[in-house]
C-alpha cells in the first residue's frame, strides 16, 4: 500500500501548514538574519529539513522504485552521515560540539532540537506529515527567537517544553495505535510483498542500513528454504509453547507484536505465516525514536543498527528538558485515552515475539558534561511514570493473559566463520527439549530439599553468595524452581526461582558480561538481605563514572534493587560453542543466562502475574512467584514493582561451586569446580569436557 495514499486524510489536515513551513525553511539559508555563532546552526539544519522535503517528493513520485541499489545506498548515507562516528565530532547532534560552537547554555538545547528534527527521516518514509510539520514549526519558532537580539535560555526551553507537551497527543496516540491495531502495515507490507532477493527493499524502511543489515539479508538469502522454515518454526512454536506452559488460553487472542532487527525479513515472512496459522495476525511497529516515547534501555518494535551508539547515549536523558510531574500526568492521560480508543484490539493482544541479534564489539561510552542529566526529582518522576504506565497497560492488556518468546541470532560483526557460527546457533536453538526437561527436573528435586544455596567463584572471580529459598509446605504438590525449556526463552535451558530476600547476602562478581549494548568488565554487585548495597565495574578510568554506568544501565537509576531471580543454566552446549569460536563475550544474555548460574535484579519473573498458577511438567505448582517486595502489591502496588529485570551470569569457567543446604545443614552438591556433580546430570558435562 502506498503510505501517502494510506495517510491522505490525516495529511490533508496539515498539508497547508506543512507546505508553509517548508517554504519558510527554504528561505532561511539566504536570509542571514541570525548572527553567528547561531546562524550556521540554523542554516545547516534548514538545509537538512529542505533535503527531507525533496526526499518526500521523490518518494511520492516513486523514485525509490526506479533507483539502483547504489543510488539508494547513497541517499541513505547522505541522510545519516552527519552523526556517523567519523563525522560526529563536528555534528550539532553531538552536545559537546554544539556546546563548543553555540555555548554551554544554548548548545545542548539546540542539539536536542537537531535530534528531534532528525527523527523526521523515518516519518518521511512513512508519510507522517503531522509529526514532520510539528518539528518544522518548532524549528521556525526558535529560529525567530534568534533573529535580532538573542533570546533568554528559558524562552528556548519553554518552546521545546510546549513542543513535547502539545504534540504528545499526536505522537503517543499514533504509537499506541500502531502497537495494537492491524490497520498499520507499513513494515509488514514490505516484508510480505517485496522481492527479498533484491536488497533494494532494505532502504524502503527509512532506517540506517549498515553492512550488518546487508550481510544478514545476503546470508539469509543463501540458506535453503527448509533452514529458514526451521528458524521461523522454532520461533513461532516457542511462542505457542509459552501459552501452553503457562496455562493461558491462546485461542482468545488475535494479534502478536513482532520485534526484530532489519535484515531478517526472509525468516520474519515465514514467521508471519506461522503466526497466522495459530490465528494471530502479526503487528509490526517501528521502535519509538522521539524523545516523548523512546526507551533508552530497549527497542520496542522493529529497528536497525544504530548509526552511532555514542549519539544515542548522549541523548538518553534529553527528557530532562521537560520531565516533571505535569508532563508525567499529561503523558499518562494521553496514553489512557489512546488505549481506550483501541481497547478491543488491546484485549486481543497476545504479547511480543522477539528476535534479538548479537555479535558487535562491546560499546564503551564517553560520559560528557554537556549532555543532559536527570535531577533526583526527575529520576523519581520517571520511575513513577514507568510504574504507573505498566499498571495502566495491565488494565487493557492483563499480564496474566499474555505470553512472549525471545530468540537470538548472530550478526556478521561476530566475525569469521559467520556461516558456521550461525548454523551452530540454529543447532543450539533446537536442542533436545525432553532431555533437558528431565535433567532439569533432577536439579529441581534436589533444590527443593534445600533451605538455601551457596554460589562461589574461582580464580579471580570473587563471587560468594548465599541465596535464601522460600519455604515449601506440601512437597508432594509444590516446587520452588521452574523447569524452563525452549518456549518463552529460546534456547533451553535453566531452572529458576524467586529467592527469599531475607538471608540472601554476599558478593556477585563476573569478569565480563553484556547488558544490552554495554559490555561490563569486572562487574561487582554486593547484596544484603536481597538488596543491592554496593556496585562497581572497571569500564571507565574514573571509578565514580563506572558506578554511574552501573546505576544507569543495570539499576535503571534506582538507588537499589532486590534480587528478583536466581537460576542455574544448563546449556553447556552453548557454552562449548562460545568457547570454541571465542565468542563467549559476544553472546547475548538470552544465551549467556543458560551458561551458568545467573541472578536478576529488579522484578521477579512473575511480575504482575504472581496470582496465576504456574506448573512444571511433573505437575507440581511453582509457588516461588513472590518475594517480600512484590507481595506489597496487595497493600500498595506503587511499592511492589521496579519495571525492570536485568540478568547477570557467572560463566562455568569462573565458577567454583553451587552447593545446596538442607534444613539439617546437609550439603547437596550441584556443581563443583565448574562441573555438574549431582547424580543424573552428568550428561551436561559432556560438552564442558570439549572446551
Q: What is the pLDDT of residues 78-91, one digit of tens each?
A: 999 999 999 999 99
β-strand partners of 513? 520
DSSP letters of 548-616?
A: HHHHHHTSTT-S--BEEEEEEE--HHHHHHHHHTT-GGGS-HHHHTTSSEEEEEES-TTTT-TTS--B-
Q: How confident is the model at residue 688 (pLDDT cuts 50, 70, 90)?
A: confident
pLDDT tens for each residue of 353-397: 999 999 988 788 898 999 999 999 999 999 899 989 999 999 999
pLDDT of residue 65: 93
* Portion of the chain with pLDDT greater than 70, in percent: 100
Q: Stretch 138-148: mean pLDDT, rounded?
A: 97
DSSP letters of 260-282?
A: -BTT-HHHHHHHHHHHHHTT-EE
User: What is the rounded distance in angstroms from the CA atom of residue 238 to the CA atom of residue 585?
Assistant: 26
211 in helix, strand or coil?
Answer: helix
pLDDT of residue 287: 96
Q: Stretch 251-268: mean pLDDT, rounded?
A: 97
pLDDT of residue 515: 84
pLDDT of residue 247: 84
Q: Supply the DSSP symbol for 315.
A: T
Q: Stretch 38-58: mean pLDDT, rounded?
A: 97
Q: How confident is the model at residue 433 (pLDDT cuts 50, 70, 90)?
A: confident
Q: What angle do CA 528, 533, 537 make, to 5 degrees?
A: 125
**Residue 281 grid coordinates:** 495476525
DSSP letters of 142-206?
A: HHHHHSSSPPPHHHHHHHHHHHHHHTHHHHHHHHHHHHH-TT--HHHHHHHHS-TTSGGGGGGG-
Please enumerate in sequence order all residues whose Cβ is within 8 A of that of 70, keeping only pairs 6 or more positions apart, or say none. none
Q: How confident is the model at residue 447 (pLDDT cuts 50, 70, 90)?
A: very high
pLDDT tens for each residue of 55-73: 999 999 999 999 999 999 9
Q: Stretch 511-533: mean pLDDT, rounded?
A: 91
Q: Stretch 42-46: mean pLDDT, rounded?
A: 98
Examine the pLDDT at 690 and tell me if it is beyond 80. no
Stated pTM of the model: 0.91
pLDDT of residue 512: 87
Q: Which of 356, 371, 422 is nearest to 581 (CA)?
A: 422
Q: Stretch 176-193: mean pLDDT, rounded?
A: 95
pLDDT of residue 641: 92
pLDDT tens for each residue of 204-234: 999 999 999 999 999 999 999 999 999 999 9
Q: How confident is the model at residue 691 (pLDDT cuts 50, 70, 90)?
A: low
pLDDT of residue 664: 83
512 in helix, strand or coil?
Answer: strand
pLDDT of residue 590: 85
Please enumerate in sequence order all residues whose Cβ is within 8 A of that of 112, keeping only pairs 6 or more positions apart, or say none. 160, 291, 315, 318, 321, 372
User: What is the rounded distance in angstroms from the CA atom of residue 590 to the CA atom of residue 356?
Assistant: 9
pLDDT tens for each residue of 635-654: 998 889 998 899 999 988 89
pLDDT of residue 489: 80
Cα dihedral sign for 410, 411, 416, 418? Answer: positive
Average pLDDT of the chain to the nearest whole number: 94
Q: Are β-strands 255-259 and 349-358 bridged in parallel, bridged antiparallel, or unpaired? A: parallel
Phi and psi of 669, rounded to 5°?
Answer: -80, 125
pLDDT of residue 401: 93
Q: How confident is the model at residue 416 (pLDDT cuts 50, 70, 90)?
A: confident
Examine the pLDDT at 493 and tell me if it is beyond 60. yes
Give the CB-side neighbour count of residue 651, counting CA atoms within 13 A.
27
Mean pLDDT lowest among 48-57, 297-306, 445-454, 459-468:
297-306
Amino acid at each position: 500500500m502506498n503510505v501517502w495514499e494510506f495517510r491522505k486524510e490525516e495529511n490533508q489536515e496539515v498539508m497547508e501548514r506543512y507546505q508553509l513551513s517548508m517554504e519558510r525553511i527554504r528561505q532561511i539559508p539566504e536570509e542571514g538574519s541570525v548572527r553567528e555563532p547561531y546562524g550556521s546552526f540554523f542554516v545547516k539544519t534548514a538545509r537538512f529539513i529542505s533535503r527531507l522535503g525533496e526526499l518526500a517528493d521523490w518518494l511520492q513520485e516513486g523514485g525509490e522504485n526506479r533507483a539502483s541499489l547504489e543510488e539508494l545506498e547513497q541517499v541513505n548515507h547522505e541522510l545519516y552521515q552527519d552523526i556517523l562516528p567519523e563525522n560526529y565530532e563536528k555534528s550539532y547532534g553531538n552536545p559537546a560540539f554544539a556546546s563548543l560552537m553555540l555555548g554551554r547554555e544554548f548548545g545542548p538545547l539546540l542539539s536536542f532540537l537537531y535530534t528531534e528534527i532528525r527523527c523526521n527521516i523515518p516519518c518521511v518514509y512513512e508519510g507522517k506529515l503531522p509529526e514532520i510539520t510539528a518539528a518544522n514549526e518548532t524549528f521556525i519558532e526558535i529560529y525567530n527567537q534568534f533573529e535580532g537580539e538573542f533570546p533568554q535560555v528559558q524562552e528556548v526551553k519553554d518552546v521545546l517544553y510546549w513542543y513535547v507537551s502539545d504534540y504528545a497527543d499526536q505522537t503517543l496516540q499514533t504509537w499506541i495505535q500502531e502497537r495494537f491495531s492491524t490497520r498499520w502495515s507499513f513494515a509488514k507490507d514490505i516484508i510480505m510483498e517485496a522481492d527479498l532477493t533484491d536488497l533494494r527493499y532494505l532502504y524502503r524502511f527509512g532506517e540506517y542500513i549498515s553492512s550488518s543489515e546487508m550481510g544478514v539479508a545476503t546470508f539469509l538469502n543463501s540458506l535453503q528454504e527448509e533452514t529458514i522454515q526451521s528458524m521461523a518454526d522454532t520461533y513461532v512454536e516457542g511462542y505457542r509453547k509459552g501459552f501452553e506452559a503457562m496455562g493461558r488460553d491462546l485461542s482468545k487472542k488475535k494479534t502478536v507484536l513482532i520485534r526484530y532487527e532489519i535484515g531478517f525479513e526472509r525468516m520474519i515472512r515465514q514467521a508471519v505465516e506461522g503466526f497466522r496459522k495459530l490465528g494471530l495476525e502479526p503487528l509490526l511497529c517501528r521502535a519509538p525514536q522521539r524523545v516523548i516515547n523512546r526507551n533508552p534501555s530497549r527497542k520496542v518494535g522493529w529497528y536497525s543498527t544504530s548509526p552511532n551508539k555514542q549519539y544515542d547515549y548522549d541523548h538518553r536523558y534529553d527528557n530532562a528538558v521537560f520531565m516533571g510531574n505535569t508532563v508525567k500526568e499529561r503523558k499518562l492521560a494521553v496514553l489512557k485515552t489512546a488505549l481506550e480508543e483501541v481497547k478491543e484490539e488491546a484485549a486481543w493482544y497476545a504479547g511480543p515475539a522477539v528476535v534479538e541479534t548479537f555479535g558487535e564489539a562491546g560499546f564503551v561510552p564517553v560520559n560528557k558534561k554537556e549532555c543532559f542529566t536527570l535531577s533526583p526529582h526527575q529520576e523519581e518522576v520517571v520511575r513513577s511514570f514507568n510504574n504507573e504506565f505498566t499498571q495502566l497497560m495491565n488494565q487493557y492488556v492483563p499480564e496474566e493473559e499474555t505470553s512472549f518468546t525471545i530468540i537470538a541470532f548472530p550478526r556478521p560483526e561476530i566475525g569469521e566463520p559467520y556461516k558456521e557460527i550461525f548454523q551452530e546457533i540454529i543447532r543450539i536453538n533446537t536442542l533436545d527439549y525432553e532431555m533437558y526437561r528431565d535433567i532439569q527436573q533432577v536439579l529441581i528435586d534436589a533444590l527443593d530439599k534445600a533451605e538455601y544455596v551457596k554460589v562461589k567463584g574461582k580464580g579471580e572471580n570473587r563471587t560468594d553468595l548465599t541465596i535464601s529459598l522460600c519455604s515449601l509446605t506440601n512437597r508432594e504438590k509444590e516446587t520452588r524452581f521452574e523447569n524452563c525449556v525452549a518456549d518463552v526463552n529460546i534456547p533451553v535451558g535453566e531452572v529458576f526461582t524467586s529467592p527469599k530476600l531475607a538471608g540472601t547476602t554476599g558478593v556477585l562478581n563476573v569478569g565480563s558480561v553484556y547488558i544490552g549494548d554495554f559490555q561490563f568488565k569486572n562487574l561487582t554487585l554486593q547484596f544484603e538481605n536481597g538488596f543491592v548495597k554496593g556496585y562497581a565495574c572497571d569500564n571507565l578510568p574514573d571509578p565514580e563514572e563506572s558506578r554511574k554506568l552501573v546505576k544507569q544501565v543495570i539499576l535503571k537509576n534506582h538507588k537499589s534493587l532486590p534480587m528478583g531471580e536466581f537460576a542455574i543454566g544448563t546449556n553447556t552446549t552453548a557454552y562449548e560453542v562460545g568457547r570454541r569460536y571465542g565468542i563467549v563475550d559476544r553472546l547475548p544474555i538470552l544465551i549467556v543466562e543458560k551458561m551458568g548460574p545467573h541472578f536478576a535484579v529488579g522484578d521477579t519473573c512473575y511480575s504482575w502475574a504472581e496470582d496465576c498458577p504456574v506448573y512444571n511438567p511433573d505437575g507440581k505448582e511453582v509457588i516461588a512467584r513472590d518475594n517480600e517486595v512484590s507481595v506489597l502489591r496487595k497493600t500498595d502496588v506503587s511499592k511492589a514493582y521496579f519495571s525492570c529485570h536485568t540478568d547477570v551470569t557467572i560463566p562455568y569457567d569462573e565458577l567454583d561451586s553451587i552447593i545446596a543446604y538442607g534444613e539439617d545443614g546437609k550439603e547437596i552438591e550441584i556443581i563443583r569446580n565448574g562441573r555438574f556433580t549431582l547424580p543424573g546430570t552428568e550428561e551436561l558435562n559432556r560438552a564442558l569436557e570439549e572446551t
